[in-house]
Structure 1
Amino acid sequence: MSFKTPDLCDDFENDASAELRVVDPLFRTYGGRPAFAGQIATLKLFEDNSLVREALGEDGQGKVLVVDGGGSLRCALVGDQLAALAVKNGWAGIVVYGCIRDTPDMAAMDLGLRALNTHPKKSVKKGAGDRNQPVTFGGVTFVPGQWLYADQDGIVVAAKPLA
């Protein structure tokens, strides 16, 4: 899949059926895949990555996992082991509204990864959180089943496949 987010914005800005939304530029780029796209799967949790492991352990072909971690900067929600699991199961990418860790290892992995920042501390594991519900951050609501496109210029979300 080849795309550029600026071109998507230009080409679909007047297409009401696309429902194109641009995510606020809050995220840093990590991972070895600078551009990625796929159908959205969501998690809503806070400082507990149990559901992240569960989701990334499933088939992720053609999908991007969007993790609403409440914007916490107090621990990491994804590390090298979970990123390796995502690669093994074919996930295109992960967007974390929170922190990640083990970034030097993840930079070599074929995985798109965006996060607010890094943090060396791991999260708790209590199994708390919700799956596959709309989540909102960065000025955008991410709806499971819709589409996310990310590259060096930013992240856009659309109601339908664009590229």
Structure 2
Amino acid sequence: MSFLTTDLYDAHEGRVAVLEPMLKSYGGKPRFSGQIVTLKLYEDNTLVREMLAEPGAGKVLVVDGGGSKRCALLGDQIAELAVKNQWEGVVIYGCIRDSVAIGALPLGVRALDTNPKKSVKRNEGTRNLVLNFAGVDFTPGHWLYADEDGVLLSAVALL
């Protein structure tokens, strides 16, 4: 699949949402897209591992980590699990760790920053909520398109 967010924006202006440019690209796949699956949690990545252990072909996991930069919600082992289960990408409103290893994987990853500290494991969080960060709503089942220029959201598939 080949696309440019700039072209998608121009073709669908007024029908797509654009994330504020706050997330950095870390994965080895800078261009990715898929249907949104959501998690809301805080400094606990138990559900991230559980979700990415499920089949993810054609999907992007969006994690609202509350914007915390105090620990990482994704590391190389969980990212490898995502690749194994064919997820297109992971977008985290929080941090990752093992950024060099994640950069070598065929996975789209966007996050606020990196932090070597791992998260706690309390098995807390909620799945499939509408999330709001970076100035947009992330609705489960909607579509996300990311490339080197940014991230777009759409209620319908654009490709």
Q: CA deviation at 1:159?
A: 0.2
Query: Structure 1 residue aligned with 2:91, among 76, 91, 95?
Result: 95
DSSP-derived class of the 1:51 partner = helix
For 2:103 and 2:114, the matched residues in 1 are separated by 13
The 5 Å alignment of 1:1-163 reads 1-14=1-14, 19-163=15-159
Deviation at 1:2, TM superposition (A): 1.3
The RMSD of aligned alpha carbons is 0.6
**TM-score of the superposed pair, with normalisation by structure 1:** 0.96
Q: Which runs of 5+ in 2 are unaligned?
A: none
Distance 2:81 2:30 in 1: 19
Q: Distance in 2 between matches of 1:94 and 1:84?
A: 12
Distance 2:47 2:9 in 1: 32
- 1:46 maps to a residue whose letter is Y
Structure 1 runs of 4+ with >2 Å offset: none
Looking at structure 1, the residues matched to 156 and 79 of structure 2 have their Cα atoms a distance apart, in angstroms, of 26
User: Separation in 2 of the partners of 1:123 and 1:107?
Assistant: 20
Q: For residues 99 and 106 of structure 1, what CA distance do their matches in structure 2 show?
A: 13
Give the superposition deviation at 1:106. 0.7
Shift of 1:78: 0.1
1:134 CA displacement? 0.5
TM-score (norm: length of structure 2): 0.99
CA offsets 1:70-105 (integer angstroms, 9 cap, x no match)? 000000000000000000000000000000000111
